Amino acid sequence: MSGVPVVLGVESSCDETGFGIVSDGVLLGQGLASSASQHAEFGGVVPEIAARAHLEAAVPTLRIALHDAGVELRDITHVAATSGPGLATAVHVGLAAAKSVAWSLGVPLYGVHHLAGHAAADTLEHGPLPAQSIILIVSGGHTSILHVKDLVADPIEHLGDTLDDAAGEAFDKVSRLLGLGYPGGPAISKAAVGGDPEAFSFPRAMLRPGDQPYVFSFSGLKTAVARTVESLERAGEEVPVADIAASFEQAVVDVLVTKALRAVQEKGLDTLVIVGGVAANQRLRAVAQERCDAAGVELRIPPIRLCTDNGAMIAAVGDLLVRGGASPSGLQIAADPSAVLHGAQLPLPAGFAV
Binding-site residues from annotation for substrate: 137-141, 172, 185, 281
Which ranges in the chain belong to alpha helices (H)? 36-39, 47-69, 88-105, 114-121, 123-126, 167-177, 184-192, 219-234, 241-266, 282-295, 311-323
Residues making up the binding site: 114, 118, 137-141, 172, 185, 281, 309
CA distance 259 to 99: 39
Short-list 341, 351, 335, 342, CA closest to 95: 335
Residues making up the binding site for Fe cation: 114, 118, 309
Residue 162 DSSP label: B
Residue 227 DSSP label: H
CA distance 241 to 187: 11
Measured N-to-C along each axis, helices 241-266 and 167-177 cross at an angle, to the nearest 10 degrees, of 170
Contact 27, 70 (CB under 8 A): no
CA distance 163 to 255: 14
Measured N-to-C along each axis, helices 219-234 and 167-177 cross at an angle, to the nearest 10 degrees, of 10
